[in-house]
Amino acid sequence: MDADQNPSQAGTSTLVDIAAAQDPRAVTRALREQPLFRVGEDFCAITRRADIERALRDPALFSSGAEAVNLGNVRPLIPLQIDPPKHVKYRRVLDPLFAPRQMAALEPEIAGLVNRLIDDFARTGSCDLHTQFAVPLPCTVFLTLIGLPLEDLDVLLELKDGIIRPPGETLAEQEPVRAETAQRIYRYFEDVIAKRRQAPSDDLLARIMNAEVDGAKLTDEEILDICFLFIIAGLDTVTDSLDCFFAYLAQQPEHRRQLVKDESVIPSAVEELLRWESPVPAVARVATADTEIGGCPVRAGEQVMLLLGSANTDDSAVPGAHEVDLQRNPNAHLAFGGGVHRCLGSHLARQELRVALREFHRRIPDYELAPGTVLEYTPGLRSLHTLPLVFQPELEG
């Protein structure tokens, strides 16, 4: 199915518009009318959950290698763009650093930060949730965890956006920005690593620098390739999720009251809102051999997008897919991907989201969008540039 031949695609001209759509569920519902959605000669997207799960479980056929997506990097990002068997070796090093027990230990620190951020606006009766909460919370947690100076945050956010959201309407316009930004990222971390060699520290970056793969320590290039990915993911995806969660809850008071009334609902609510919003709506792969999806041919070397947001609301595979049930159980969503490349930082993301929802709703249980607000979601990854909320000011004392 070609994009210019599908009148039911809810107004989209490119797949990147799914993230920016006011209702991405309506867009993906239309796309699922066919198992494969094709844009141009060498780019297609898989739309249905069963097919997406098959592709996630088969990295030999649907590779996550550097050919899948160009982010300006000159070497594969580790571990995202490394397929098995070498991928497994890197995950053995990195997975323990982000294990559930390790992330659970961060809860008091995260709760303290959440409340300090809320202190800055709780008595004013309004805030820009994006700039005052959704950005600084996960960014501060991540920079502290990895051991980077908080005063570098603005620079790192600029670098992250230069990769994820570069200016330009077309890939041809964006590629030079990505390439130049990537070189700046490499230079930044080359300097960081050189300083760490002279003055060792005790943080996540130090543990990565001391890690071994097959009995040998990681090279500086390997460390750079890990850090490049960390900055892109660690400074964006939780922000995206917080934007989506609070925008939804600001417009759905019955669900917001459900969280306030019973905090035990929050863990399942996080999973359901991840499923419903799918802040990372798609992941990229490249076909390594000719194959087919639902009878539609996919050629070797073709870029393939796996529409996670579509899989998460596929009513042929998810009972009640188009209803939000904050107590849904089980909830086997694909918001963190699946297979060997399942998101490395999923346990950290869950911890931050759970604590954020709990602490925020303890102090500000009732809020809504500021009058006149029109939400404008970003393309690529589903986020907001601004999220103005209004609420009853918190009383002194």
> 41: which residues sit within 8 A by CB, 6+ positions away?
none
- Say whether the peptide bond before residue 79 is cis (omega within 30 degrees of 0): yes
Phi-psi label, residue 215: left if phi above 0, alpha if psi -120 to 50, beta otherwise = left
Catalytic residue among 344, 348, 387, 389: 344
116 flagged as catalytic: no
Catalytic residue among 227, 345, 353, 384: 345
Closest C-alpha to 347, from 68, 110, 165 = 110
Catalytic residue among 12, 28, 47, 237: 237
Catalytic residue among 236, 240, 243, 314: 236
Closest C-alpha to 28, from 339, 275, 293, 291 = 275
Could you give phi then psi for residue 46, rounded to 5 degrees? -90, 135
23 flagged as catalytic: no
Catalytic residue among 156, 274, 334, 343: 343
Q: How far is CA 71 from CA 5, 119, 165, 196, 235, in A?
A: 30, 37, 10, 26, 16
Task: 29-33: list long-range contacts, CB under 8 Å, 24+ apart.
Answer: 29/313, 29/322, 30/6, 31/307, 31/310, 32/310, 32/314, 33/6, 33/8
Strands 296-298 and 303-306 come out as unpaired
Separation CA 65–CA 141 (nearest Å): 29
307 flagged as catalytic: no
Q: Which residue has the tokens 């494969």?
A: 36
236 flagged as catalytic: yes
Catalytic residue among 58, 161, 165, 373: 165
Write out the catalytic residue numbers: 165, 236-237, 343-345
